[in-house]
Structure 1
Amino acid sequence: MKNFIGTYECKIDDKGRLKLPSSLVKQMEDFGGGSFVVKRSVFQPCLEVYPMNGWEKLMEKINKLNRFQKKNADFIRQFTAGLKIVEPDNAGRIQVSKDLTLFANLTKETVITSAGELFEIWDKSAYEQVISTNIHDFAMLAEEVMGDINFDDEIKP
């Protein structure tokens, strides 16, 4: 499985064009290039950008939900609200729609950060606030999330 790597400070213009760093554009090519899906994050005021093949795998799982249960239909509607398909142009920019720009409160200064098989687009000040958690809080979170995983079980010769 491929993962995006890196955190980049970027600029977005008044028309919603976000100039991507060349090293990120190269990584995007490793995911097949072409189309990517931009969506609202579920937990934070940022945008998530999925390679099309990763998005299709995620939607295969979501499409297995029973849409005749209201909570499932509501979840799917909210999860897919505002989706846009983007492709980097020849100048290495993607177009972020106005509704998504407003959702993430994107101003001129932005941060793009890797998040495994996707990357996130943040307003720079919001990103800095989110990552400014103190070391003790992060240590407790890391232990809670990762502490019970036996990594030796995952290693296969």
Structure 2
Amino acid sequence: MDRFVSTYAMRLDSKGRMSVPAAFRALIARDGLEHLYCHPALDLPALEAGGARLMAGIDSLVERFPPYSEAREELAGALYGAIETLKLDPEGRVVLSETLKAHAHVKDEAMLVGLGDRFRIWEPERFRSHLAEATAKVRTLKRQLGSRNAGETRGEEA
């Protein structure tokens, strides 16, 4: 596997440690890392986490703006400045800081959701609500794409 995929329900133990699924740890280890990067999502009550590909995505996003531009400085500060390096212990667990847990409203359970190049950490109820909304939007998009393709098949313009 070369992508973060699937959804895992995880519990935080009494010391605040959370296991990272073996499949996710394997991707982090492939990058030569013994930690993962984690930051509050900019527009969601969730956390973004991952390894080298997460950082490469942030680098690419920041580099779209001219050096020393206000937008680049703000984006770099909001992303790089908020990243926490979470050390994986020998059992594959990490400790989420109070700042990270507060942003995502995580208490004793979390959902780890693969997004390909990274994964998100959600409070379970917030994730279920987000997933329901996302699923409804995808269904609408599918219907729209289907009706456009049907029109093209009949020689009509969409």
**Which TM class, normalised by the smaller chain length?**
0.7 to 0.9
Deviation above 4 Å: which 4+ runs of structure 1? 142-145
Aligned to 2:116: 116
RMSD of aligned residue pairs (Cα, Å): 3.0
Structure 2 counterpart of 1:62, which letter? V
Structure 2 counterpart of 1:126, which letter? R
How big is each residue's C-alpha offset from its partner over 1:53-78, in whole Å with a ceiling of 9 and x where there is no partner? 54145325524633533233222222
Deviation at residue 120 of structure 1 after TM alignment: 0.8
Largest Rg, 1 or 2: 2
Q: Once the two structures are aligned, what percentage of the paired residues are identical? A: 17
Q: For residues 31 and 71 of structure 1, what CA distance do their matches in structure 2 show? A: 30
Aligned to 1:77: 77
State whether residues 62 and 75 of structure 2, in contact with CA within 8 Å, keep that contact through their aligned partners in structure 1: no
- The number of aligned residues is 147
Where is the helix percentage greater, Structure 1 or Structure 2?
2
Structure 2: segments with no counterpart, 5+ residues: 149-158
Structure 1: segments with no counterpart, 5+ residues: 149-157
How big is each residue's C-alpha offset from its partner over 1:85-130, in whole Å with a ceiling of 9 and x where there is no partner? 1232111101211111111111111100100111111111110111
Structure 2 counterpart of 1:123, which letter? E
Q: For residues 114 and 25 of structure 1, what CA distance do their matches in structure 2 show? A: 12
1:5-16 aligned within 5 A = 5-13=5-13, 15-16=15-16
Aligned CA distance change for structure 1 residues 42 and 57 (closer, same or farther; 3 Å):
closer
Aligned to 1:130: 130
Asked if residue 103 in structure 1 is aligned to residue 103 in structure 2, the reply is: yes
| Length-normalised TM-score, structure 1 | 0.76
Structure 2 counterpart of 1:26, which letter? A
Q: For residues 79 and 99 of structure 1, what CA distance do their matches in structure 2 show? A: 14
